[in-house]
Chain A
């Protein structure tokens, strides 16, 4: 059985001269490189076999160049480590048609998953820009993985409204609504095209509630790791699931089985 972490942010390491100008003296460079990420996956018990990886900075991008550069790094590491990484491109939809061009570019280069965080740019997910980008994603047959939280912009109800406009398009509601897990469950009961990941989930027992009230087939292990230490880490995310004592069949689905089915459905080779 493969164990897949469906949510890790990675970035290339920059020389001091390129990053220190935006950091206070004494601060460490933020982020995990692809190689550091693999080390982390190997160090977990049980080890994590594969991860869905994507950038972080371009969730709200100051320029198209920076968005492209970050996505290029993902393309590069997926090619270098095909047995460890599934790649997702990051899109900041506030760039409109330029963002759609970038979406098409990395889709053509082979990425089948796209990450969007509407609250980064203060966009309500169900606004016109959100609908436009989802229409393009649907045309390309890709999988959108969208950050969810408690804000006006990307809470489960707003994301659910967007997903409801595209009933044939599967979507991952990342973080399971964070503090709004019950709202996420309500939305997912009504819309069977929404999946959830378990990253940043506050109450782990809500995984059991999701399985009982919604489905055992639409919930997936994820960590949201984005730093070497502190914050959210893959081992902690694994423990969140392993500590529940789920029946073996359900546990295997959450740890990797569901992700494999979902990723294969959009053309990812696993």
Chain B
């Protein structure tokens, strides 16, 4: 089985990208991917509208798509919305510093506390400190404070490896790895049990992510199986 945990659908206003669930499922069929985690583009500020797109997608393809919702910690009704999304069947929450709330701020902590109560993994779409002003100390303090929450660190480039090494409640996806060799290198300090296959489609290709992993000679069949699907199944209780 193959599960890709990093896919966007809906509208990306930055690049006028409009990706549908149907397009993604067709790509999955071509690439041999069984299930995909889908969520909105975090460039889109209208999170409620975009979460509706994702909700419809996993209702239409319940065997193929798993929905995460996006949340802006500034919204006054944040926790009510999160309870509603959980009830609707969403299985994780995505947030991003682009919403203007730092990892040390109260509203961000409230989001994580709500995720803890609802047993939702938290996807941190963060970038690194050279790309964006993400302060590593406040991020790590927050990861340390909420040891009972599972975090997926995505698009964090080089900083992510050190952070994941220090915090056992974190998972890394493969989207920012330039090659399979980089993923193999990460397996030494972090372990393959905390690496997830993620393509960042539509900007990445599902097939490319599989190809990256296939060529790694240093990983065993068992370790690749963890990355392809077993870690995602364990994290998402599939």
Binding site for B on A (CB under 8 A): 21-24, 57, 59-62, 92, 94-96, 119-124, 127-129, 150-153
Contacts and interface: CB of A to CB of B under 8 A. Distances in A.
Contacts of A94: 13-14, 43-45
A60 B133 CA distance: 14
Contacts of A60: 45, 98-100
Given A121-B98, A129-B13, A24 B43 contact: no
A57 B100 CA distance: 8
Interface string B121-139: 0000001001111000000
Contact of B105 (A22, A121, A124): A22
Contacts of A122: 14, 42-43, 96-98, 127, 132
Given A22-B106, A62-B72, A95-B45, A151 B14 contact: no
A122 B96 CA distance: 10
A60 B99 CA distance: 6
B107 to A, nearest CB: 5
A121 B45 contact: yes
Interface residues of B, number: 26
Given A22-B74, A22-B107, A150-B130, 17 more contacts: A22-B106, A23-B106, A60-B98, A60-B99, A62-B72, A62-B75, A62-B99, A92-B45, A94-B13, A119-B133, A122-B96, A122-B97, A124-B14, A127-B15, A129-B15, A151-B133, A153-B132
Contacts of B130: 150-151
Nearest to B127: A122
A22 B76 CA distance: 9
Contacts of A23: 106
Contacts of B15: 127-129
Nearest to A96: B13
Contacts of A152: 131
B26 interface: no
B16 interface: yes
Contacts of A24: 106
Contact of A61 (B13, B45, B133): B45
Contacts of A128: 14-16
B78 to A, nearest CB: 10
A128 B16 CA distance: 7
Q: Counting chain A CB atoms within 10 Å of each CB, which of B13, B72, B106 scores highest? A: B13
B75 A151 contact: no
29 contacts: A21-B76, A22-B105, A22-B106, A22-B107, A24-B106, A57-B100, A59-B100, A60-B100, A62-B45, A62-B74, A94-B43, A94-B45, A95-B13, A119-B132, A120-B98, A121-B45, A121-B98, A122-B42, A122-B43, A122-B98, A123-B43, A124-B14, A127-B14, A127-B15, A128-B15, A128-B16, A129-B13, A129-B16, A151-B131
Nearest to A149: B133
A152 B74 CA distance: 25
Between A60, A128, A152, the greatest number of chain B beta carbons within 10 A of the residue's beta carbon is seen for A60
